[in-house]
Structure 1
Amino acid sequence: MVTTTKNQTANLFDLFVLQQGEEGAEAFRKQTDLVADTIADVLRGTDQPFTGLSVEEIKQQLRPVMDIPESAQSLNEVLEEIKGPILKNSLHVSHEKSMAHLHCPPLLPGVLAELMIGSLNQSMDSWDQSPAATYVEEELIRYLTETVKYPVEADGVFTSGGTQSNYMGMLLARDDFCLSQWNHRVQTDGLPEHFTKMRVLCSENAHFSVKKSISQLGLGEQAVIPVPVDENHQMDPDEVVRIVEDLESEGLLPFAIAATCGTTDYGSIDPLEDLAEFCKQKGLWLHVDAAYGGGLLLSQEHQHKLAGLERADSMALDFHKWLFQPISCGVFLLKNRKYLRLLSHHADYLNPAEDEEEGILNLVDKSIQTTRRFDALKVLVTLKTMGTSLLGSMIDRTMEVAQYAASELERRPGFKVINPSPEMSTVVFQYCPEDIATPGELNRKIQQQLFQEGRAVIAKTAVDGETHLKFTLLNPRTSENDVNEVIDEIEKTAHALVGGISQ
């Protein structure tokens, strides 16, 4: 067993613990320089979006890295050890041919802000743990509520992403309904007697987190009623009216509609104005999952597609999608802050009632989390560094390339495009030559082979139970030529595979 003296241990504390003063500043500078040099080497040596190594090959390379030592090692040694197995074998989302998921290339201001966030290590639950950070988040939330055209009573909080934001929307909708319908406070009394009758409507193309949230909230997945979509993959408002009437005739209790502004596969936007008007008439809560589509708030050419978003009672926005922020970075916005009382819970050591009476802001009152990161900082640094005009033009550029991709796929023989006029930056398609009886199998193998060889990272999804391919174009540096090259690779791979596909 390796032992060290007390003095040696104290010296190691000085080496590894972030500290103030000149000595601490110099240690911080030296070690961040080492990390920056290592990342620069990886970026410099990466010409594919993925190395193409198999699962077993990567696991084999990782085994010695995962041997945890008893004694300290130098950062330089550790960086050298992890550079190949971990850093190089990661998915390089900033590569122009990485176009699979809603997984964006992070902007440099956001990446650098992450260093500040980690170094400052503020905890966003109470003011005395995040004095400046509390008011940065508060003011940024105010800016965002104004941007979505919410009234002055609006509020919100940073979240881990769309799933958490959707959960919060469903939670508040449930608890407000129980309070107004039965004068029943779920937070203190649990679910009411007739909770099994409660229902939520959402598009059949809605994100899975809506159903997941409702199940976790104790209502059961059966409480989520999928609404058919039209030819543009949007929730059909006539079907919404019909379903609500049918539910009410059966004695059931629809209490919320979860609309989607930018579905994962098609980027489709539900008819927000029609849904908002119907919800107003019926007294239903309207939550909008705009985790993807909310990026259009900064668009100079497509912002009009968000008409009606401001009428939602609550919404989810994700900045780690179309505002190009490092994961994670989401926001939950609420049209009227009064509903936050349904979340509030006082702890003497954290947010005592006396603090509230004295006007001290403890953000834990707004969140289902306690400890939270200072994610607002990277959004602020990005907005201030780049400005909204440049960010908007980056979003518009990805839209332009998506529209080109759809038209190019339509032009080429053998391709079938499911959304030939993409509403946002995703394109769903299938390569289906006439002589192939099982194109789904072929497309699955195309996607796998391109990934395994590191030539391109594209997604696969199911349409009517059959595998299709998908481009998700979030990189403003991805060009029409990059798209052409990936389509060429799809054709080349398909031709090589056709002999192994059942005729």
Structure 2
Amino acid sequence: MHTDQATAEAPLQQYNKSKLLLKDIFYEETNAEYHQAVEKARTAVTDFLHNTRQPFSGIKPADIQEAVYGVDLDRPLTGYDALLEEVNELYIRHATAFHLPAYIAHLNCPVVIPALAAEVIISAINSSQDTYDQSAGGTFIERRLIDWTANEIGYTNADGVFTGGGSQSNLMGLLLARDHFAVKTLGHHIKEDGLPVQAPRFRIFVSDKAHFSNQKNAWLLGLGEQAIVKVKTDGRFRMDAAALRTAVDKELGQGNIPIAIVATAGTTDFGNIDPLQPIADIAAAYQLWMHVDAAYGCGLLLSNKYRHLLKGIEQADSVTIDYHKSFFQPISSSAFLVKDKSSLQLVKHHADYLNPEDQDYDELPAQINKSITQSTRRFDALKLWCTLRLMGKHKLGVYTDMMIDTAAATAALLHQDPEFDLLSSSDLGVLVFRFRPTGIVTDLSALNLRIKQALFFEGTCIVASTKVDDNFYLKFTILNPVTTVSHIREMLGVIKAKGYSLV
């Protein structure tokens, strides 16, 4: 054997002697190891379901931080039993249990089982959705679900892409609004030439209850938070259409340049929907891009009973959808859609090693042509596919109706009880209120803050909070069809009891 040949074969011989080192790689010879790992993980999850009786353990941040940082990451554990025991101690037993009715704080939904089955497939096969040669059928499953969602919205010539979440989708909406205006009105291509000199005068209109991502996205786009114009809301904390028109006229009068309106279909604090049709009329009158942040309210697309609340969404130029909020999907599962598919040409960029310009994309499609911040991207669409194929839209819609009906019943309870102040009813399921003890004069903001903090670290009932006109309020977010009015009555009783104990 020649010396060069022997040298070349040495690593292969070493590999053959050391296959044990590859036992943790997922490939055809490690099926038994994979089965063992997944089965033990499944047991850990089912133990979490069986043993968790309240939404939070109450552990203090300093205690869990000390435990996590006390682990020596340079000393591997001896096996999966030891590993999962450690994971249980550091994470699972202290994880917030979103599936329990006593968790009623943020926009975290319980998840459906078909989507969990899909997660097993997604993580193991590990496709990337950027190009066809990395995903094949995954490309068309994602595209079909975008088309399905577009049809539910009422679009006829639409396109879109799955994203990592609502904030990213909202960023895409504002980016397209900015670049579309620059090309159409100024003849300026921001992608090639950067911001035009007029950019500091660009203005984007949002309600004063819109999501904070609008401000962050404005500065990410180089416009600064000063580009965001907050429009006052009505008595139910929805954008006031008359005030919107006045705000647009005011900015025009000051020499500024309105480019977009962001309407919210499901505000984080109140679960209410801006008047989409009147806003669409204003957007058309002033030739402004209309983006609808339906990250929360997208669940209404599933409902025959409440779908009418989204009237006007079909006129928006772009829409944010969060399946992981209102379609009961595991994080992350979101999408961004545009009414006119040609709009997405604004974000296309070619790289010879990935999506070369001379490729026929009708023959070999590439989803990366539609994405702005993700090249490597999980096949999250499979979760929604499995959900729709096994459960169907109707059952998901029934879940949505149940939650809205429970929220309406909860609003009635709060309204009828003199010991609670309810600020507004909700189109969806968010109710802002505070406890007001009978016959006792006290600082209500301070008292309700103490109630929230005490309940959180007891772990028995987790509620959210917000401030309205500098006053502190508690907040219920009803996003679980398992939650009943009986659960709500029990939680209100717990809040009262805690409140009186703290006066």
Task: Give the TM-score, by structure 2 length.
Answer: 0.94
Runs of 4+ aligned structure 1 residues displaced above 6 Å come to 5-8
Q: Paired residue for 2:100? A: 95
Does 2:276 match 1:272? yes
Output one character per residue of 1:18-72: Cα deviation in whole Å (capped at 9) or x when no partner: 113xx433332222111101111122111110111222232233344x3213446
Listed as ranges, the gaps of 5+ residues in structure 1 are: 499-503
Q: Paired residue for 1:491? A: 496
Distance in 2 between residues matched to 1:188 and 1:245, nearest whole Å: 31
Does 2:39 match 1:33? yes
CA shift for structure 1 position 474: 0.7
Structure 1 residue aligned with 2:429, among 411, 425, 433? 425
Kept in 2: contact 1:289–1:317 (CA 8 A): yes
Output one character per residue of 1:96-125: Cα deviation in whole Å (capped at 9) or x when no partner: 111100011111111221111101111111
Distance in 2 between residues matched to 1:442 and 1:87, nearest whole Å: 31
Distance 1:9 1:445, change over 3 A: farther
Does 2:482 match 1:477? yes
Structure 2 residue aligned with 1:163, among 146, 164, 167? 167
Does 2:200 match 1:192? no
Distance in 1 between residues matched to 2:471 and 2:180, nearest whole Å: 40
Structure 2 residue aligned with 1:123, among 85, 109, 128? 128
Structure 2 residue aligned with 1:315, among 305, 316, 319? 319
Q: Paired residue for 2:86? A: 81
Does 2:27 match 1:19? yes
Is the partner of 1:347 in helix, strand or coil? coil
CA shift for structure 1 position 359: 3.0
Q: Paired residue for 2:463? A: 458
Structure 1 residue aligned with 2:289, among 285, 292, 297? 285
Is the partner of 1:355 in helix, strand or coil? coil
Distance 1:117 1:330, change over 3 A: same
Does 2:373 match 1:380? no
Listed as ranges, the gaps of 5+ residues in structure 2 are: 1-13
Distance in 1 between residues matched to 2:242 and 2:78, nearest whole Å: 65
Distance in 1 between residues matched to 2:418 and 2:286, nearest whole Å: 49
Distance 1:115 1:212, change over 3 A: same
Distance in 2 between residues matched to 1:244 and 1:469, nearest whole Å: 34
CA shift for structure 1 position 410: 1.8
Calculate the aligned-residue CA RMSD, in Å. Answer: 1.4
Structure 2 residue aligned with 1:224, among 225, 228, 237? 228
Q: Paired residue for 2:118? A: 113
Does 2:360 match 1:359? no
Q: Paired residue for 2:9? A: none
Kept in 1: contact 2:24–2:30 (CA 8 A): no
Q: Paired residue for 1:204? A: 208
Distance 1:8 1:63, change over 3 A: farther
Kept in 2: contact 1:62–1:86 (CA 8 A): no
Is the partner of 1:225 in helix, strand or coil? strand
Distance in 2 between residues matched to 1:155 and 1:8, nearest whole Å: 52
Q: How many residues align?
A: 488
Distance in 1 between residues matched to 2:432 and 2:99, nearest whole Å: 21
Distance in 1 between residues matched to 2:191 and 2:210, nearest whole Å: 27
Distance 1:8 1:88, change over 3 A: farther
Query: Percent of aligned pairs with the same residue?
Result: 39
Distance in 1 between residues matched to 2:51 and 2:236, nearest whole Å: 42
Kept in 2: contact 1:442–1:494 (CA 8 A): yes
CA shift for structure 1 position 84: 2.3
Q: Which amino acid aligns with 1:54?
A: K
Structure 2 residue aligned with 1:52, among 50, 53, 58? 58
Q: Which amino acid aligns with 1:29?
A: H
Q: Which amino acid aligns with 2:447?
A: L
Kept in 2: contact 1:260–1:270 (CA 8 A): yes
Distance in 2 between residues matched to 1:300 and 1:126, nearest whole Å: 36
Moved more, 348-357 or 264-273: 348-357
